[in-house]
Structure 1
Amino acid sequence: MKYLPIKNDADPLISFVKELYEGAFPQKERRKWELLARMIGTVPEMRLQVIMEDEKPIGFMTIWKLKDWCFLEHFAISPAERGKKHGEQVMLDFIKDSRVLLEVEPPVSEDASRRINFYKRAGLVCLSFPYLQPSYKKTGKPYEMVLMSNVPDAGESACAEIVNLIFEKVYGSSRRV
């Protein structure tokens, strides 16, 4: 598996990313495509990578390098490639050398529970403190999510700095924990 960085919105793989991004995430869990496209290559902390298998794009990741953490904002495998263990391999590659934090929906639906179990199999744990994800829209309200990490003892006070950086850099929110 290869991870190709997308440096700007003129990359030939950008249409693959856009289609998967808009198909894999509900509107409330993503920013407008035009804004994301403008951020590629211009926001130093953000990395957009296409996941390649046998020279074919099969997924993408949006990663934020914030201090000594990696915040995984978006991760999706193409529907045609799901169930082939690609996602598990990507997560194992991703977490082996990084302190990782990501958001998932609370386990109130079968899909949300399945997603949490996927990340648990990769070695992440649900953090035990409440978390409200800021809205991508200035007028939107925050909504409940669960933070997961490969740092099992990451408590609320230990995560306050990284969560504040996520609010500021990823969501453009001045809200603090």
Structure 2
Amino acid sequence: MQYISIENSDSPYLPFVQELYHSAFPVEERRSWENLLKMIGTVPEMSVQVVLAEEKAIGFTTTWIFDEWFFVEHLAIDPVNRGKKFGERIMKDLLVNRRLLLEVEPSSSVDAVRRIGFYERLGLVCLPFDYLHPSYHDSHVSHSLVLMTNVAERAEMYFNEIIRRVKKQVYLYHPL
């Protein structure tokens, strides 16, 4: 597998990423495409990478680096390539020597249970405290998600600073 960073809006991979971005994530879990394009190459903490297998685009990631933390905002595999262990290989690459944090939907659907199980098999755990995902579109709307990590600590206080940074920098969330 090969990871190609998308550095600007001239990337030939953007149409693939755009289609997968819109099909893989509900509107409340993605920013507008125009905003994402403005951020590519201008927000140093953020990286959008297309994932290639045998020189063909099969997925993408949107990740953020905050000091010693790595936040996975989006990870998606093209539907025709799901079930081929690409997601597992990507996650194993992301987990190498990193403290990782990501969000998943609560286990209220078959897909959500399957997704949580996928991450658990890779060594991540669900954090046992409530977490509200700020809306990308309306600062007064949020919805419940579950945080997962590969860090052994489970106390909410331990995660306060990284959660604050994610909300402030990823979601541009500024509490009143």
TM-score bin (small chain):
over 0.9
- Identical columns (%): 50
TM-score, structure 1 as length reference: 0.96
Displacement of 1:139 after TM fit?
A: 4.5
- Show CA shifts across 1:81-105 (max 9, x none): 0001111111111102211000000
Inter-partner Cα distance in structure 2 for 1:24 and 1:100: 21
TM-score, structure 2 as length reference: 0.97
Inter-partner Cα distance in structure 1 for 2:52 and 2:99: 23
Inter-partner Cα distance in structure 2 for 1:120 and 1:15: 31
Aligned to 2:23: 23
Structure 2: unaligned runs, 5 residues or longer: none
Aligned to 1:134: 134
Q: What pairs with 1:89-128 in structure 2 (closer than 5 Å)? A: 89-128=89-128
The residue type paired with residue 80 of structure 2 is A
Q: What pairs with 1:30-109 in structure 2 (closer than 5 Å)? A: 30-109=30-109
Inter-partner Cα distance in structure 1 for 2:19 and 2:140: 24
Inter-partner Cα distance in structure 2 for 1:175 and 1:66: 20
The residue type paired with residue 22 of structure 2 is E
Across the aligned residues of Structure 1 and Structure 2, the Cα RMSD in angstroms comes to 1.2
Q: How many residues align?
A: 176
Secondary structure in structure 1 of the residue aligned to 2:165: helix
Aligned to 1:165: 165
Structure 1 outlier segments of 4+, above 3 Å: none
**Residue 12 (structure 1) aligned with residue 8 (structure 2):** no
Secondary structure in structure 1 of the residue aligned to 2:47: strand
CA contact (8 A) 1:164 1:175 kept: no
Inter-partner Cα distance in structure 2 for 1:140 and 1:74: 22
